[in-house]
Structure 1
Amino acid sequence: MHWQGLSRLYSALLLLALAACSAPVIEQPDGTERLTRAILALDPSVDPGEAARAADLSYAHARHLSIAYEITDPPLVHNTKVNMGLKPRGLCWHWAEDMETRLVAANFRTLDIHRAIANADNPFRIDHSTALISARGQPMNRGIVLDPWRNGGRLFWSTVEDDHRYDWQPQQKVLADKYPLTPITD
């Protein structure tokens, strides 16, 4: 057996071992009312209708993406399946990109949508991406993390300040630090 076949065999065995140790995905009760209140608490300028619509969209789109990405396993197992070509999408940056795109399309007047990355400078942890929501004009660190990847398709949300699992940085800053522009010389 050549290296590529052996590598796939080991990946499949690791995937099966991880799946055997994992809990099944459990549906999350609808938390839109709590998320609506948290979005409203970001700033007095937040429109109550927009807060409710943002919360509804966040939960609904996370559910939609969970079905579209064919989520049946915990995140790291699903990541392995995506990387092996067995599942279409579902890496954290897919969730972040698709959540951001849907929320931006809502054209909120009193809310801003951000992208963030954690662990980019930590060689011992994998980068993690997410979408965030804040009051219009407020920095992302005063917003709310919207992370459906973390719980295998069930929307996790928390204020950035209270999310002690990750040190979120603005996506643009992380990418600029990681991939600085090199001047072109003749």
Structure 2
Amino acid sequence: MISSKADYIDHINQDKKALGIKSNGIGGKIMDYLSPNYIWKFQKTMRKLEYYSNCKNKGVTKLYVAYLKYKFKKISVKLGFSIPINVFGPGLSIVHYGTIVINRNTKIGRNCRMHACVNIGASGGEKGAPQIGDNVYIAPGAKIYGDIKIASNIAIGANAVVNKSCEQENVALAGVPAKPIGNVDIKKIIKHI
């Protein structure tokens, strides 16, 4: 969670690295204007909203926070994302546009790489939601739900349904319901770590 200006800058830089965004020279700004990267715009808006909501949400700044909430909601709807703030650690990489739904009580560590059609949430109206470690790859269509814990350095396979905790690191989870199917070197999947 962003709790200072230094945290905000770290989150932005790590997200930029995870998405493979190059330096914003004049050529980069022209390309961004002609062909905008909406996922990067979404992540920048999310991080800015997190920073202002957590650190500067008083006085006149509340008006700016309200504007950021409006802007964040607008781009979220455009991309099909239902992602609350203060869920992801730095190094988030959303790979594609498409439906992504995440419960506000979920916490996900550093360097999460996530595809479209992912759903992470509570089970049956309960408040407990998944707590996911660092360096986790979540493939398209994965469903993760319940008051569970997922260890660090995990790869979750396409269309897997994860409803039980997995404390074992460096494994791939797949199937319905998901279970460990083998070991994985997460650095081969998440290249920027």
TM-score normalised by the chain length of structure 1: 0.27
Higher relative contact order (CA 8 A, sep 6+): 1
Give me the TM-score of the superposition, normalised by structure 2: 0.27
